[in-house]
C-alpha cells in the first residue's frame, strides 16, 4: 500500500442519469466524488432528441441539454467530472479495502467506494442509413420515443419478448406497426406471440431484413429484403424502432463481479450493492427490465446512499 499517494472516498464510473444523480447525492454527503464520464459522456440520452417523460420538465427537454444540466448540478456540489473511460478494475474483496481503477489505460485511481454506472449499449443493425437517422426517426426505445409517432406508421425490428412487447405498446398509439423478423419464426414466448397475432394494426413480416432506411433528415420509409426469396420491397414509415437487445458495458468487471448470463451486474435485492464490499451498481448496467432515465436516476440515488452508509460503517 506504500505506493498509494491518495485514496478518494467515492469514484463514479460512467455518467448519464445514474452517474450524475449518484454524484449529486454523494457530493451533498461530503464524499467528494470523482466521476469519469465513460465512452459516451451523458450516456444514451445524448442520442435522444426529446425527453418528455422525466418529471420536472413540463415542456420536455432534449437529451443532451438534460445531461449538461445534470452535470452542472453535480459540479455545483463539488463533484469533479473528468472525461475518461475505465479500462481496468482491481477490486478488493475485503471490508474496508481499497479499490484500484485504471482510466484510459494509464491513470490509476484508488477509492474506498466505487459506483458503477457504465450503462448498456443498444444493439443496432449497423447500416449507414440507420446510423445517420438516429435521432431523426430511428430509436432503440419505443417506450421513450413512441409518443412522438402517435397516429403514424412505424416499424420495429426484433423477434424476442422485448420486441413483441414494444410492438404491442406502439400499436396502442400508432396508426400501424410493421414488425420485421429475420427468421421464419419469433423467439418471443407463446403468450407474447399470441398477443402480437391478435393485435389488429400490427403485422409481422418473417424472413425480412432492413436493407436501407429511407429519408433525408428524417425517416420516410424502409427498403426491405426477404432473405428467403431475395425480393425487395418498400414501405412508408416515419419511425423505426430497433429491438434486438442491449449489451451491458461490464466487460472489465468480468470474473470479479457477479453478473447474469447476459452480462448485467447483479445487485442485492432493494440495494445497489454488488457481491464485493464497497462496490455498487446503478442504472442500465444492472437494469435490463425498465431502462428509463427516471429509474436510472433513482438507482443512482440508492447507490450513493448505500456508499455513504458503507463508509460510515467502515469509519465507526
Q: How many CA atoms lie within 13 A of 77 on its CB side?
A: 21
List alpha helices for the chain, DSSP H. 16-28, 63-76, 128-132, 142-145, 161-171, 190-197, 293-315
CA distances from 305 to 24, 63, 127, 153, 280 (A): 11, 26, 42, 44, 10
Q: Is 10 a catalytic residue?
A: no
Grid cell locating 135 = 435521432
* Helix, strand, coil abundance in the chain, percent, nearest 5: 30, 25, 45
141, 174, 284, 287: which one is catalytic?
141
b/e per residue 11-23 (b: at least 16 CB within 10 A): bbbbbbbbbbbbb
Q: In what order do the strands lie in the sheet with 208-214?
A: 208-214, 221-226, 232-236
Grid cell locating 156 = 420495429
How far is the C-alpha of 108 from the C-alpha of 111, rounded, in Å? 10
52, 104, 145, 301: which one is catalytic?
145
10, 144, 174, 287: which one is catalytic?
144
Grid cell locating 95 = 471490508
Q: Is 144 a catalytic residue?
A: yes
* Listed residue (115, 96, 106) closest to 1, CA to CA: 96
Q: Is 301 a catalytic residue?
A: no
Grid cell locating 292 = 428509463
Task: Report the catalytic residues.
Answer: 141, 144-145
Amino acid at each position: 500500500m506504500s505506493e498509494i499517494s491518495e485514496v478518494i472516498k467515492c469514484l463514479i464510473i460512467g455518467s448519464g442519469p445514474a452517474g450524475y444523480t449518484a454524484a449529486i447525492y454523494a457530493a451533498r454527503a461530503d464524499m467528494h466524488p470523482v466521476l469519469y464520464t465513460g465512452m459516451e459522456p451523458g450516456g444514451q440520452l445524448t442520442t435522444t432528441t426529446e425527453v418528455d417523460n422525466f418529471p420536472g420538465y413540463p415542456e420536455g427537454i432534449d437529451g443532451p441539454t438534460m445531461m449538461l444540466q445534470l452535470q452542472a448540478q453535480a459540479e455545483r456540489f463539488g463533484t469533479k467530472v473528468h472525461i475518461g473511460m475505465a479500462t481496468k478494475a482491481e477490486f478488493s474483496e475485503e471490508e474496508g479495502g481499497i479499490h484500484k481503477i485504471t482510466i484510459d489505460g494509464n491513470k490509476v485511481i484508488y477509492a474506498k467506494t466505487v459506483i458503477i454506472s457504465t450503462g448498456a449499449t443498444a444493439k443496432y443493425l449497423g447500416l449507414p442509413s440507420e446510423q445517420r437517422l438516429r435521432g431523426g426517426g430511428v430509436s432503440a426505445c419505443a417506450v421513450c420515443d413512441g409518443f412522438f409517432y402517435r397516429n403514424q406508421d412505424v416499424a420495429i425490428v426484433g423477434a424476442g419478448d422485448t420486441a413483441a412487447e414494444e410492438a404491442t405498446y406502439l400499436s396502442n398509439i400508432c396508426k400501424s406497426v410493421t414488425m420485421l423478423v429475420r427468421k421464419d419464426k419469433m423467439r418471443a414466448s407463446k403468450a407474447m406471440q399470441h398477443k402480437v397475432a391478435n393485435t389488429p394494426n400490427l403485422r409481422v413480416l418473417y424472413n425480412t431484413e432492413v436493407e436501407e432506411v429511407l429519408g433525408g433528415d428524417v425517416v420516410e420509409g424502409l427498403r426491405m429484403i426477404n432473405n428467403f426469396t431475395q425480393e425487395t420491397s418498400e414501405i412508408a414509415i416515419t419511425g423505426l424502432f430497433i429491438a434486438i437487445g442491449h449489451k451491458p458495458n461490464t466487460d472489465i468487471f468480468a470474473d470479479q463481479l457477479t453478473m447474469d448470463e447476459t452480462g448485467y451486474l447483479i445487485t442485492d435485492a432493494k440495494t445497489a450493492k454488488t457481491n464485493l464490499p464497497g462496490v455498487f451498481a446503478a442504472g442500465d448496467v444492472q437494469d435490463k427490465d425498465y431502462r428509463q432515465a427516471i429509474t436510472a436516476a433513482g438507482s443512482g440515488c440508492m447507490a450513493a446512499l448505500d456508499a455513504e452508509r458503507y463508509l460510515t460503517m467502515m469509519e465507526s
